[in-house]
């Protein structure tokens, strides 16, 4: 089991799949033990119920859902909120996996 878990969320779970691949490659190159996966917004509740998630990153196209996600993630990390952010638009557009991994680790304080 990976030490850290990063969940990406977008409208259908597909637009972030290439970014996930780039992030996994970057994390591997950095020697990080991490599970990175993408889901659609409709799958989030299922994943939260079945996995320990360390950070959630939203695709820019679902930024409007941020407040709903804040409510879902409240108190789920041993009483604390799971960190949440919108994926940096430039990093998303460039499919810069290393930058998004860095953004995620910054949010979880590593």
Mind listing the domains of the chain with CATH numbers? 4-107 (3.40.50.2300)
User: 97-107 and 17-29 helices cross at what angle (nearest 10)?
Assistant: 80
Sign of the dihedral through C-alpha 16, 77, 44, 52? positive
Q: Which two tokens stand for residue 43?
A: 């799958």
Distance CA 83, CA 94 (A): 23
10 is catalytic: yes
Distance CA 86, CA 106 (A): 13
Q: Which of 7, 9, 10, 44 is catalytic?
A: 10
Q: From first to last of the 110 residues of the chain, give the pLDDT tens digit.
A: 568 999 999 887 667 888 999 999 999 999 999 999 999 988 999 999 999 999 999 999 999 999 999 999 998 887 789 999 999 999 999 999 999 999 999 999 88
What pTM value is reported for the model? 0.92
């Amino acid at each position: 089991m990976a030490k850290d878990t990063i969940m990406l969320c977008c409208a259908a779970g597909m637009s972030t799949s290439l970014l996930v691949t780039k992030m996994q490659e970057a994390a591997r190159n950095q020697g990080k033990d991490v599970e990175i996966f993408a889901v659609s917004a409709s799958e989030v509740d299922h994943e939260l119920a079945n996995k320990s998630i360390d950070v959630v990153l939203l695709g820019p196209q679902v930024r409007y859902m941020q407040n709903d996600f804040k409510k879902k993630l409240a108190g789920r990390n041993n009483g604390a909120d799971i960190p949440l952010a919108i994926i940096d638009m430039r990093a998303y557009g460039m499919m810069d996996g290393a930058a998004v991994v860095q953004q995620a680790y910054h949010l979880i304080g590593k």
